[in-house]
Amino acid sequence: MSLRSPRLRPARSASTLVLASAVALTAAACGSTSSNPLGGGSGSAGSGSKVVVGSANYPENVLLAAIYSQALQAKGVKVDEKFNIGSREVLYGQLKSGSLTVLPEYNGALLQYLDPKSTASTTADVNAALGKDLPANLGILDSSAAEDKDSLTVTQATASKYGLKSIADLAGKSQDFVIGGQPEFQSRREQQFKDAYGLTFKEWKPTADTTANALADGSLQVGDVFTTDPRISQFNLVALADPKDVFGVENVTPLVNKAGLSATATDALNAVSAKLDTAGLLALMKKVSVDKDDPEQVAKDWVKANGLG
């Protein structure tokens, strides 16, 4: 998912990552894969250079990147943080070039970006497809159980008034509704909603991380709200079911440039995935988005509480 707006701290300028010898890729599947799917030993590439952890420009991705960073540093890995950079379209190129080493990704959204026609729907199938579609210098590590999916969301009042339980129920009504989401949302999803559900909306508005608020104040009737957004319960919103799986699985998964990653770093990131689940991510996001706690401290506390520090 992935999409969202800058909030927590400004991006730093990208520096050139020192590349060492390449590490062989073993196709990574879901969380049951080998703890070191990229291979390599204690002297493998990246052991003497910094791992550059990047993030997209929205709160959850910054938080996940901070968790990766804290977990890596706890194992003695040198880290350079480059958070709040931008959308996937920007980040992917930087990772491919080696300016970044690791990003928190969402496997389904990444596959949709690489292959919009893919029909893979399970975590294992999505990850297997990514293993084929990613260029040779990139790879994924173990996927976590945590998912943060896009959802078409409405207020409880709108759901009750129009009898909305699933996206399919918007048929015949969507033409009167204003829909909002990240700036990229329309270009990524408009045709899919037409093809899968026959939906055409009155207007599309770029609302970024304020989508839930815009629903609550009536500026929107439908919005792309992420399922780990604590404002869903805070504002009494309803995430509509997606019976045709337009959004698919969205497991939080490290996407890496293989040449910059040692076995120690790989193991540290896989250990994060083994501990991270959806309920835990939602609790963390409440601390960041609602309680306004510092994301780096939230990340540090989580790493320590889960025995990764």
- pLDDT given at position 3: 36
307, burial (CB in 10 Å: exposed 0-12, middle 13-18, buried 19+): exposed
* Range among 20-29, 113-122, 139-148 with highest mean pLDDT value: 139-148
Query: What six digits make up the tokens of 139?
Result: 């790879």
Secondary structure class of 170 (helix, strand, coil): helix
Measured between alpha carbons, how far is 19 from 40 in angstroms, rounded to an integer? 15
Instruction: For 256-272, write each residue's pLDDT tens digit.
Output: 999 989 999 999 999 99
Give the fold, CATH level 3, of 152-239: D-Maltodextrin-Binding Protein; domain 2 (3.40.190)
Contact call for residues 155 and 237 (beta carbons, < 8 A): yes
Name the residue with tokens 């990208």: 14
Measured between alpha carbons, how far is 32 from 123 in angstroms, rounded to an integer? 11
Measured between alpha carbons, how far is 102 from 247 in angstroms, rounded to an integer? 24
What is the mean predicted confidence (pLDDT) over 181-208? 93
Same fold, 51-147+250-305 and 152-239: yes
- Label residue 245 by pLDDT band (50, 70, 90): confident
In the chain, where the domains are located? 51-147+250-305, 152-239
What is the mean predicted confidence (pLDDT) over 117-123? 89
> What residues form DSSP beta bridges with 139?
256
What is the mean predicted confidence (pLDDT) over 66-83? 97
CATH class of the domain defined by 51-147+250-305: alpha beta
User: What is the gyration radius of the CA atoms in the chain, in angstroms?
Assistant: 19
- C-alpha distances in Å from residue 256, one per residue of 53, 59, 266, 270: 9, 20, 9, 12
291, burial (CB in 10 Å: exposed 0-12, middle 13-18, buried 19+): exposed
What is the mean predicted confidence (pLDDT) over 269-294? 94
Q: Is the pLDDT of residue 45 over 80?
A: no
- pLDDT given at position 166: 97
- Label residue 22 by pLDDT band (50, 70, 90): very low
* pLDDT: which is higher, 58 or 307: 307
- pLDDT given at position 48: 54
Closest by Cα among 11, 63, 56 to 300? 63
Q: Is the pLDDT of residue 233 over 60?
A: yes
Neighbouring residues of 301: CB distance < 8 A, sequence distance ≥ 6: none
Query: What six digits make up the tokens of 75?
Result: 């194992």
Four-residue CA torsion sign, 197, 198, 203, 206: positive
Neighbouring residues of 94: CB distance < 8 A, sequence distance ≥ 6: 14, 54, 85, 100
